[in-house]
Amino acid sequence: MRTLTVLLFVVVAVVLIETASASEAECESGQAKKEDCNDCFCTDNGLWACTAKACVEKRAIHHRHHEPECKVGEFKTDDCNRCRCVGFGKWACTRMRCIHKREIS
């Protein structure tokens, strides 16, 4: 009887853990989506993983008569991302998620 009680407890614990993990998931494994020009897929742990291509706005390509933001070939950093000035004077930047260290007082 004691073995059956322990087994039942283990099964209930596993179900509760799986339910909690599923509720924290952002997506279902195997899902795919597009964010700007980047491809994303859902990992086995329910989190999105995306490419980090520098996307050029489609507007910039179609509107050639605008004030340039930069000189083609220039580089800059934006937080932890690297940017390059591309055709038509527009910035194209990586889109990495920046993680900052907490300041120690």
- Report pLDDT digits (tens) over 25-61: 789 988 999 888 888 989 888 888 888 888 876 554 5
50, β-bridge pairs: 40
Range of the domain at 36: 23-53
> What is the per-residue pLDDT for 74?
94
Structural domain includes residue 82: yes
- Number of domains making up the chain: 2
* 41 and 68 both lie in a single domain: no
Q: Are residues 42 and 72 part of one domain?
A: no
pLDDT digits (tens, 9 = 90+) for 4-33: 665 555 555 554 455 444 457 789 988 999
One domain for residues 47 and 73: no
51-98: pLDDT as tens digits: 888 887 655 455 555 678 899 999 999 888 899 998 778 889 988 888
63 with 44, same domain? no
Instruction: Place 1 in a pLDDT band, splitting at 50, 70 and 90.
Output: low
**Residues making up the chain, counted from first to last:** 105
- Per DSSP (E only), the strands in the chain are 32-35, 38-42, 48-50, 75-78, 81-86, 90-93
Nearest CA-CA partner of 30 in 51, 19, 20, 44: 44
- Residue 89 has a CB neighbour count (10 Å cut-off) of 16
Beta bridge partners of 99: none
Q: Helices in the chain by DSSP H: which ranges?
A: 2-24, 58-62
